[in-house]
């Protein structure tokens, strides 16, 4: 029988090899390559099974809304898309100590108080520790069912008895192990095997299962990336070390949007929901200092105003530094290149630092204009108007391009007391007039630079070429 050439498959990334190797060249994982052809070769004379016939369905027909279980925490429900879905599995990832266990015990307590059966299985902490935390949060009396267990078979057998729990929390998937797999607990294969068993249980019983997952230094959910593919939704809980803000973000969601964020604040009494994040992110502004600007952004369906800070200073190094926190480094390089090429702003001899205040991470290209304004303002030493917001995408030609949902951005700015918007002309037609904001058209980056240079009466650096 002809030997199948590429039957050794990396169990972490799926790369295929003709022979076994200790390390996967594609993803760098050790000991992850398994011989998937072995099963076929073991049964050389296996006859082809006759397929069972099944009925094909038309696309039209009766549909049922995913039966959801809202947690009652609005910020959490916003990210899941309206609640936990029956029979679905959700993976919650985040750095250690970010507050995953806190968030889940709070959600569990709420649901349990609402009369649902909720089980919290901790593989990391003893029952007493979980209890202690719940008591400290004032949730001691909630009828959550607790256990400190790590064997998936035991967990499935126990929870399969009696009325199925509506919600099962597994904290964390890396501590679980299953008899079905021979490798040691914590290995990629174990984590995957345990996740598979729990997913099967969720589908079979109709319980919603939440798996907590650790995140590695480079931001990936540790262990197999495959777990991310196996589950229905992946949420990530993020925050910057020294800040109290925590942001819950959907990375993948089969039953809802992936662009919504939930904002929380870690307090002495656990996680507090933040209903108006703009106020929070703008609460500590340095009004009127050069290099700070307010960006009118959109996160999912919700407008979000946030401060962007830049520092541009002469460098003492051979290669100037470019450092970004909360934004995309390659977008910064692009904005700097456009400033040099089309506006004559020379930054080759300057270090550039850009920071999004409050520990938020922005992904929108609409922040280009705000970032450019902050950079030019810092370079010129000229403060921007404190009552203005900025938004617009910059193209490589130096033009400022329209962005989506301009009216929503401006409405939020007006609500928070801003008086002026700097944006591309298209936004004016989108209802700038009914928000009451004064509108300043910025159709090219050169306009913006000229405007800032003109307003600065102590320009340290010549911004535009003679």
Say whether residue 269 binds ligand TYD (CB under 6 A). yes
CB nearer ligand TYD, residue 124 or residue 259: 124
Give the interface segment with Mg ion, choosing from 100-108, 277-285, 292-300, 426-434 (CB under 5 A).
100-108
Is residue 160 within the footprint of ligand TYD (CB under 6 A)? no
**Please, what is the minimum distance in Å from the beta carbon of residue 169 to ligand TYD?**
11
Our CB check for ligand TYD shows the closer of 38 and 127 to be: 127
Upper half-sphere CA count for residue 387 (Cβ side, 13 Å): 9
Which helix (H) or strand (E) is 120 found in, with range?
A: strand 118-122
CB closer to ligand TYD, 51 vs 268: 268
CA dihedral 313, 314, 317, 318 (to 10 degrees): 130
- The nearer residue to ligand TYD, 280 or 375, going by C-beta atoms, is 280
- CB 287, CB 386: distance < 8 Å: yes
Q: Are 176 and 111 in contact (CB under 8 A)?
A: no
Q: Does 100 bind ligand TYD (CB under 6 A)?
A: yes
Q: In whole angstroms, how close is the CB of 208 to ligand TYD at the nearest point?
A: 19
Which of 71, 79, 74, 68 is CA-nearest to residue 111? 71
Contacted entry of ligand TYD, Mg ion, none for residue 102, CB cut-off 5 to 8 Å set by kind: ligand TYD
DSSP letter string, 127-188: HHHHHHHHHHTT-TTS--EEE---BHHHHHHHHTSSSPPSEEEEE-GGG-B-TTS-SPTTSH
- Among candidate residues 406, 423, 411, 408, the one with its CA nearest the CA of residue 372: 423
The beta-strand segments (E) located in 215-358 are 233-238, 245-253, 261-267, 270-273, 292-299, 302-314, 322-325, 350-356
For residues 388 and 294, the answer to whether their CB atoms sit within 8 Å is yes
What is the token pair recorded at 274?
Answer: 């933040």
Contacts of 306 (CB under 8 A, 6+ apart): 278, 281, 282, 294, 295, 297, 356, 357, 358, 360, 362
Q: Which stretch binds ligand TYD (CB under 6 A): 8-16, 131-139, 202-210, 226-234?
A: 131-139
Is 99 a binding residue for ligand TYD by CB under 6 A? The answer is: yes
Contact region for ligand TYD (CB under 6 A) — 59-67, 130-138, 218-226, 227-235?
Answer: 130-138
Longest dimension (CA), the chain: 88
Residue 155 in the binding site for ligand TYD (CB under 6 A): no
The set of residues, in sequence order, having a beta carbon less than 8 Å from that of 261 and lying 6+ positions away, is 78, 79, 247, 248, 249, 299, 300, 302, 304
Of residues 412-441, those binding ligand TYD (CB under 6 A): none
If binding is defined by CB under 6 A, does position 241 make contact with ligand TYD?
no
Residues that bind ligand TYD (rule: CB under 6 A) add up to a total of 15
Q: Determine if 174 is a binding residue for Mg ion (CB under 5 A).
A: no
Among 9, 10, 79, 98, binds ligand TYD (CB under 6 A): 98
Asked if 248 is part of the footprint of ligand TYD (rule: CB under 6 A), the reply reads no
Binding partner of residue 133 among Mg ion, ligand TYD, none, CB cut-off 5 to 8 Å per kind: ligand TYD
Which one of Mg ion, ligand TYD, none interacts with residue 268, CB within 5 to 8 A by kind? ligand TYD
What residue 230 binds from ligand TYD, Mg ion, none (CB within 5 to 8 A, per partner kind)? none
The span from the CA of 424 to the CA of 406, in Å, is 10
The footprint of Mg ion on this chain (CB under 5 A) covers a number of residues equal to 1
Q: In this chain, which of 7, 71, 88, 101 binds Mg ion, going by CB under 5 A?
A: 101
Which of 133, 243, 272, 401 touches ligand TYD by CB under 6 A?
133
Tokens (6 digits) for 87: 């029979």
Q: Binding segment for Mg ion among 96-104, 146-154, 240-248, 337-345 (CB under 5 A)?
A: 96-104
The C-alpha atoms of residue 312 and residue 376 are separated, in whole angstroms, by 8
Stretch that binds ligand TYD, among 3-11, 22-30, 40-48, 266-274 (CB under 6 A): 266-274
- Nearest by Cα to 139 from 151, 127, 130, 152: 130
Nearer to ligand TYD, 100 or 411 (CB): 100
| Residue 102 contacts ligand TYD per CB under 6 A | yes
Residue of the chain from 94, 256, 297, 398 that contacts ligand TYD (CB under 6 A): 94
Residue 101 in the binding site for ligand TYD (CB under 6 A): yes
Cβ atoms of 422 and 373 within 8 Å: the answer is yes
Q: Which residues bind ligand TYD (CB under 6 A)?
A: 94, 96-102, 133, 136-137, 266, 268-270
């Amino acid at each position: 029988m002809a030997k199948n050439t590429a039957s050794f498959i990396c169990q972490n990334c799926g790369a295929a090899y003709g022979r076994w190797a200790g390390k996967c060249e594609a993803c760098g994982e050790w000991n992850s390559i398994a011989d998937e052809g072995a099963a076929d070769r073991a049964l050389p004379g296996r006859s082809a099974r006759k397929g069972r016939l099944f009925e094909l369905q038309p696309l039209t027909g009766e549909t049922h809304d995913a039966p959801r279980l809202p947690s009652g925490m609005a910020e959490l429900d916003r990210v899941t898309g309206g609640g936990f879905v029956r029979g679905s599995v959700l993976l919650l990832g985040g750095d250690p100590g970010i507050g995953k266990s806190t968030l889940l015990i709070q959600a569990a307590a709420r649901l349990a108080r609402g009369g649902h059966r909720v089980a919290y299985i901790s593989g990391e902490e003893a029952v007493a520790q979980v209890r202690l935390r719940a008591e400290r949060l004032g949730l001691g009396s909630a009828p959550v069912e607790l256990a400190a267990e790590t064997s998936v078979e035991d967990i499935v057998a126990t929870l399969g008895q009696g009325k199925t729990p509506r919600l099962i929390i597994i904290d964390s998937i890396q501590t679980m192990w299953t008899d079905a797999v021979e490798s040691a607990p914590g290995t990629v294969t174990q984590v995957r095997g345990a996740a598979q068993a729990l997913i099967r249980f969720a589908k079979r019983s109709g319980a919603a299962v939440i798996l907590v997952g650790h995140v590695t230094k480079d931001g990936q959910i540790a262990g197999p990336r495959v777990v991310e593919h196996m589950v229905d939704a992946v949420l990530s809980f993020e925050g910057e070390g020294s800040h109290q803000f925590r942001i819950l973000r959907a990375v993948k969601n089969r039953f809802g949007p992936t662009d919504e964020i939930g904002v929380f604040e870690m307090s002495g009494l656990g996680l507090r929901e933040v209903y108006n994040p703009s106020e929070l992110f703008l609460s500590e502004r340095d009004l009127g200092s050069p290099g700070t600007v307010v960006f009118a952004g959109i996160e999912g369906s919700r407008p979000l105003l946030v401060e962007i800070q830049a520092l541009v200073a002469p460098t003492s190094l051979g290669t100037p530094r470019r450092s970004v926190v909360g934004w995309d480094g390659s977008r910064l390089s692009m904005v700097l290149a456009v400033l040099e090429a089309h506006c004559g702003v020379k930054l080759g001899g300057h270090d550039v630092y850009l920071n999004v205040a409050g520990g938020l991470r922005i992904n929108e290209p609409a922040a280009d204009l705000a970032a450019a304004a902050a950079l030019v303002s810092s370079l010129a030493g000229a403060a921007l108007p404190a009552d203005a917001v900025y938004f617009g995408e910059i193209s490589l030609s130096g033009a400022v391009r329209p962005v989506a949902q301009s009216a929503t951005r401006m409405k939020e700015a007006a609500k928070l007391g801003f008086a002026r918007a700097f944006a591309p002309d298209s936004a004016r037609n989108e209802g700038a007039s009914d928000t009451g904001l004064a509108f300043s058209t910025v159709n090219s980056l050169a306009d913006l630079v000229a405007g800032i240079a003109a307003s600065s009466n102590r320009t340290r650096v010549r911004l535009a070429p003679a």
